[in-house]
């Protein structure tokens, strides 16, 4: 649950007021709680159980003591050698999009895996596994955003890079960049800490990648958590403008105000297009709202979104403008009436042509996050969502529902269910494949089971044993 992270931030800054949580323990899980409530029990090895003690911040807000260098171990196999491309998710630059996933293992820290695309699609044998020594990929006990890191070519060398939040012993989580290259990430491919204004507060969630100023260089955005219940302490977002240097420094930095913000989402990058930013409110487990900033810094009208902790962007009607889908991820808080408090049971779509008149799709027992991609290649993005125990995809302008079929999770001590993590056209046939895994509320499962689902053929199942 996000509140554990906010509490960490509060302890860090000495601000003691906190929304509607009360003085009691962290909210208990609700039966239909979704993935956003991941930290219901802190993970045994997760950073939420070991909040680093604060280190004094300098006047600029950057940490007073730089984090130590972290070397990464990079077992890699069958990686196709690339020469560079313009795709924002092509880590080895061979012209095929690659999928970055984060997995957990009981006896190891979380690790990041790049699965490489090819004409034959993703093959779990063709991969790079990245482990950061004693560093821990920060998830704040299960933050969903850490499970599908954004990628972008941040230094402009033709290889997509992976911004990561990494915590090392005794340090607050810090933003670093895992550089792509001809054979994917390399042993020396982790940048020093990226300088971020007010770093201890800002680096509490994973960054969103986009070209926010439209100069053709990829930028990063991070949320500045608003620490007050009233949304009045000046939360907002930070833009780190690219290109980034190999030492991790952005070209320049911009801080924007947007009260109540905790985290941010950008739309998918496309050549010649500025990205927008969705700044999402904090929550105490319940569903909260967000604001669409069509331009950042705001130079145009902004749009308030209704409650929903699952956000996906795409062109769902195929008119060339970006649409935003907002879903109820199933999370509830522990206030009286929590079973239905903030419940929407719906996905609301704000179309780019008329964002102020959204369209509501009722989805019974909706939970989990939303994933967008054009799975049938008709030029319109489709929406993968979870309705009860079923994973469904809405196609044809979101008018048609199709189930993804049987996705059995192995038995375990905790209930597991299949969730879509990300989608992309990894074989360049014009149709997106969907990556799903088995998910439980706390650490694990170990090993993790994954599927690659495609609309037009058999999928592939694999688990992370041996990764």
State how far the Cα of 228 lies from the Cα of 285, in Å rounded to an integer. 16
Q: Does 89 bind Ca ion (CB under 5 A)?
A: no
Shortest distance in whole angstroms from residue 182 CB to Ca ion: 10
Q: Which of 127, 148, 167, 217 binds Ca ion (CB under 5 A)?
A: 217
Q: Does 350 bind Ca ion (CB under 5 A)?
A: no
Q: Which of 374, 425, 427, 433 binds Ca ion (CB under 5 A)?
A: 374
Q: Which of 155, 317, 334, 433 binds Ca ion (CB under 5 A)?
A: 155
DSSP designation for 154: S
DSSP state letters, 112-133: EEEEPP-TT---TTSEEEEB-T
Q: Does 94 bind Ca ion (CB under 5 A)?
A: yes
List the interface residues with Ca ion, window 175-214 (CB under 5 A).
180, 211, 213
Q: Residue 424 is encoded by which pair of tokens?
A: 């992309």
Q: Does 252 bind Ca ion (CB under 5 A)?
A: no
Our CB check for Ca ion shows the closer of 390 and 402 to be 402
> CB under 5 A: which stretch of 91-99, 280-288, 296-304, 440-448 binds Ca ion?
91-99
C-beta atoms surrounding 319 within 10 Å: 12
> What DSSP element (H or E) covers 2?
helix 2-13
Our CB check for Ca ion shows the closer of 244 and 417 to be 244
Buried b (16+ CB within 10 A) or exposed e, 320-348: eebbbbbbbbbbbbbeeebeebbbbbbbb
Our CB check for Ca ion shows the closer of 96 and 351 to be 96
Count of chain residues binding Ca ion (CB under 5 A): 21
Q: Which of 45, 54, 157, 335 binds Ca ion (CB under 5 A)?
A: 157
Q: Does 429 bind Ca ion (CB under 5 A)?
A: no
State how far the Cα of 5 lies from the Cα of 206, in Å rounded to an integer. 12
Q: Which of 88, 96, 168, 433 binds Ca ion (CB under 5 A)?
A: 96
Furthest-apart CA atoms within the chain: distance in Å? 58
C-beta atoms surrounding 232 within 10 Å: 11
Q: Which of 334, 382, 425, 427 binds Ca ion (CB under 5 A)?
A: 382
Q: Does 323 bind Ca ion (CB under 5 A)?
A: no
Q: Which of 18, 33, 90, 261 binds Ca ion (CB under 5 A)?
A: 90
258 Cβ partners below 8 Å, 6+ apart?
Answer: 235, 236, 237, 279, 291, 293
> CB under 5 A: which stretch of 156-164, 223-231, 262-270, 425-433 binds Ca ion?
156-164
Strand pairing class (127-130; 108-115): antiparallel
> CB under 5 A: which stretch of 27-35, 190-198, 358-366, 371-379 binds Ca ion?
371-379
Q: Does 78 bind Ca ion (CB under 5 A)?
A: no
Buried b (16+ CB within 10 A) or exposed e, 360-375: ebebeebbbbbbbbbb
Shortest distance in whole angstroms from residue 369 CB to Ca ion: 19
List the interface residues with Ca ion, window 115-154 (CB under 5 A).
153
DSSP state letters, 252-271: EEEEEE-TTEEEEEEPPP-T
Q: Are 413 and 106 contacting, i.e. CB atoms less than 8 angstroms apart?
A: no
Our CB check for Ca ion shows the closer of 6 and 296 to be 296
List the interface residues with Ca ion, window 256-275 (CB under 5 A).
none
From 296, 152, 159, select the one nearest 217 (Cα to Cα). 152
Our CB check for Ca ion shows the closer of 140 and 151 to be 151
Our CB check for Ca ion shows the closer of 82 and 135 to be 82
Our CB check for Ca ion shows the closer of 7 and 428 to be 428
Angle at 218 between CA 115 and CA 194, to 5 degrees: 85
Shortest distance in whole angstroms from residue 296 CB to Ca ion: 11
Shortest distance in whole angstroms from residue 195 CB to Ca ion: 17
Q: Does 92 bind Ca ion (CB under 5 A)?
A: yes
Q: Are 201 and 220 contacting, i.e. CB atoms less than 8 angstroms apart?
A: no
Q: Does 219 bind Ca ion (CB under 5 A)?
A: yes
Q: Which of 144, 159, 439, 467 binds Ca ion (CB under 5 A)?
A: 159
Shortest distance in whole angstroms from residue 6 CB to Ca ion: 30
- Order of strands across the sheet that contains 76-77: 76-77, 127-130, 108-115, 99-105
Q: Are 29 and 441 contacting, i.e. CB atoms less than 8 angstroms apart?
A: yes
From 53, 38, 16, select the one nearest 200 (Cα to Cα). 53
Interface ranges with Ca ion (CB under 5 A) = 90, 92, 94, 96, 98, 153, 155, 157, 159, 161, 180, 211, 213, 215, 217, 219, 374, 376, 378, 380, 382
């Amino acid at each position: 649950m996000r509140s554990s992270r906010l509490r960490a931030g509060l302890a860090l800054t000495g601000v003691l007021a906190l929304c509607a949580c009360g003085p009691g323990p962290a909210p208990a899980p609700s039966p239909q709680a979704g993935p956003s409530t991941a930290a219901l029990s802190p993970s045994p090895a997760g950073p939420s159980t070991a909040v680093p003690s604060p280190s004094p911040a300098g006047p600029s807000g950057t940490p007073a003591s730089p984090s130590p260098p972290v070397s990464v171990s990079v077992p890699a196999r069958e990686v196709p050698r690339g020469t560079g491309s313009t795709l924002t998710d092509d880590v080895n630059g061979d012209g095929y999009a690659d999928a970055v996933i984060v997995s957990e293992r009981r006896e190891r820290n979380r690790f990041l895996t790049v699965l490489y695309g090819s004409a034959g699609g993703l093959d779990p044998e063709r991969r790079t596994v990245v482990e950061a020594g004693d560093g821990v990929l920060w998830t704040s006990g299960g933050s969903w955003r850490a499970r599908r890191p954004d990628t972008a070519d941040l230094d402009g060398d033709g290889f997509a890079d992976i911004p990561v939040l990494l915590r090392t012993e005794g340090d607050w989580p810090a933003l670093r960049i895992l550089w792509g290259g001809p054979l994917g990430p390399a042993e020396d491919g982790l940048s020093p800490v990226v300088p971020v204004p007010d770093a201890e507060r800002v680096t509490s969630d994973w960054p969103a990648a986009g070209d926010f100023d439209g100069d053709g260089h990829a930028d990063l955005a991070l949320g500045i958590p608003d620490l007050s219940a009233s949304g009045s302490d000046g939360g907002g977002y930070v833009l780190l403008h690219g290109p980034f240097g190999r030492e991790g420094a952005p070209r320049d930095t911009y801080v924007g105000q947007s009260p109540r913000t905790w985290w941010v989402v950008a739309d998918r990058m496309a050549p010649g297009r500025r990205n927008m930013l969705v700044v999402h409110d904090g929550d105490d487990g319940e569903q909260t709202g967000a604001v669409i900033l069509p331009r950042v810094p705001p130079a145009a009208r902004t749009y308030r979104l209704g409650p929903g902790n699952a956000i996906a962007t795409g062109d769902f009607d195929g008119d060339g403008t970006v649409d935003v889908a907002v879903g109820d991820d199933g999370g509830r808080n522990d206030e009286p009436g929590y079973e239905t408090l903030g419940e929407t049971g719906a996905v609301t779509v704000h179309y780019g042509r008329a964002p102020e008149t959204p369209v509501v799709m009722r989805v019974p027992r909706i939970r989990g996050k939303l994933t967008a991609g054009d799975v049938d290649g008709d030029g319109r993005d489709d929406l993968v969502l979870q309705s009860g125990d079923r994973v469904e995809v809405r196609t044809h302008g979101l008018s048609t529902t199709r189930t993804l079929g049987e996705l059995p999770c192995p038995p375990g001590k905790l209930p597991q269910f299949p969730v879509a993590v990300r989608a992309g056209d990894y074989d360049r046939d014009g149709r997106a494949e969907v990556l799903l895994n088995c998910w439980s509320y706390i650490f694990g499962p170990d090993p993790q089971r994954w599927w690659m689902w495609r609309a037009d053929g058999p999928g592939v199942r694999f688990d992370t044993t041996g990764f």
